[in-house]
Amino acid sequence: MGNMYLYTFEAFTVVCELHLEAPTQSVANDMTQMVITYAKELEYRYSFFQKTSEIYALNHRSSYTHIISDELSGLLQMALFYTDITHGAFDIALSGTLKAASKAPTLVEYKRLKEELLPFASSSHFTLEGNCLTFSNTITKIDLGGLVKEYAVDQVSFQLQSRGILSALINFGGDIAAYGTYHDTPWKIGIQNPDSLDSNLLEIELNSASVCTSGHSKRFTTIEKENITHIIGSSSRDQNYNQVSVIAPTTVDAGVWSTALLVNPNLIIPSHIQVLHTI
């Protein structure tokens, strides 16, 4: 058995942690460098705001049809799969398109803009055929913010395993995957209480699975003293829960379902998804 190493770094605008078991410090350093480089690359490629990203180019398009990269095509296909399976509660065109409204100076203006943009805030406004992405308008925008961080965690997990790392916990801002053990004991994860950040609502054990928590408590925009959440639903039912935690076989799955259940708490959950708690 090797030693356990812990690294922290920043990517996707959140604090990331990597715990891994490695035979030497040098191996652990190399693995961590690989993980940081990979995470930064994904952030660079798929950021909503960075002008260098493929997403930014698509969202600031002047033509309707675009040839996109293989990886982005796969990500979009995955997003469309989840949009269908969550009946639209998870939709990469929803928050992206409505983001413009959150810049409104007043609540009246915010509501007006949201109403105006809502008809375009749906994945039904683009089609994907292989690498060919065609939009029906210039207003619909794609935001992979609810997918790419989770995707990064899953890919890092696969890459570490393929490089012989037997145990690791990958935590990108609360999107967590763990496999193997921590010194022969299961990995333990505390789910933070949004009302008391020093305490945990509960503690879980995680092995070869992922957990994601979505909530309205940390990320929002304030307009006229009212908090506008970063998770935007298309109807008034979106405020039923403040926080949802989900365990799933992949981080993408856990992330999508925790977001979708915030938007629509009435969704029927697949049997492999475990909802930990909702507050």
Partner 1 sequence: MTVNSNAMMASYASQVNSNSNVQAQSSASGYASQGVSADFSAIAQQLMSTMDTNKSGSIDKAEFSQAAQALAKNANNSSSSSVDTAFAKIDANGDGSISSDEMMNAMKQASAQTQTKKHHHHHHADVSASDTATQTEQLSKQASSPANEIQKNLFNKIMAAYGNPTAATGMTTNLSA
Rounded to whole angstroms, the Cα distance separating 154 from 79 reads 15
Is residue 6 involved in binding partner 1 (CB under 8 A)? no
Rounded to whole angstroms, the Cα distance separating 122 from 132 reads 18
**In terms of CB distance, is 78 or 201 closer to partner 1?**
78
Place of tokens 């989900």: 246
Is residue 177 involved in binding partner 1 (CB under 8 A)? yes
Which amino acid is it at 216? H
Q: Which of 25, 49, 64, 108 binds partner 1 (CB under 8 A)?
A: 64
**In terms of CB distance, is 273 or 276 closer to partner 1?**
273
Is residue 60 involved in binding partner 1 (CB under 8 A)? no
Is residue 69 involved in binding partner 1 (CB under 8 A)? yes
Q: Which of 33, 37, 134, 227 binds partner 1 (CB under 8 A)?
A: 134
**In terms of CB distance, is 214 or 250 closer to partner 1?**
250
Instruction: With CA atoms as reference, report the closest residue to 191 among 132, 110, 246.
Output: 246
Is residue 95 involved in binding partner 1 (CB under 8 A)? no
Is residue 34 involved in binding partner 1 (CB under 8 A)? no
With residue 134 as reference, give the H or E element that holds it.
Answer: strand 132-135
| In the complex, least distance from residue 50 CB atom to partner 1, rounded to whole angstroms | 13
Q: Which of 21, 54, 91, 143 binds partner 1 (CB under 8 A)?
A: 54
Question: Edge-to-edge strand order for the sheet containing 65-67?
Answer: 65-67, 132-135, 126-129
Work out the angle between the directed axes of helices 70-85 and 148-162 (0-180°, nearest 10). Answer: 120
Residue 267 per-residue DSSP state: P
**In terms of CB distance, is 223 or 263 closer to partner 1?**
263
Q: Which of 26, 51, 67, 184 binds partner 1 (CB under 8 A)?
A: 67
Which one of the spans 53-61, 106-114, 188-196, 228-236 is the region binding partner 1 (CB under 8 A)? 53-61
**In terms of CB distance, is 3 or 208 closer to partner 1?**
208
Residues near 129 by Cβ (< 8 Å), separated by ≥ 6? Answer: none
Distance of CA 195 to the CA centre of its chain: 22
Distance of CA 127 to the CA centre of its chain: 22
DSSP string across 125-152? GEEEETTEEEESSSS----GGGTHHHHH
3-state secondary structure of 211: strand
Positions touching partner 1 (CB under 8 A) are 45, 54, 57-58, 62-71, 73-75, 77-78, 80-81, 83-85, 87, 119-120, 124-125, 127, 129-132, 134, 136-138, 151, 154-155, 157-158, 161-162, 177, 179-180, 208-209, 248-250, 252-253, 270, 272
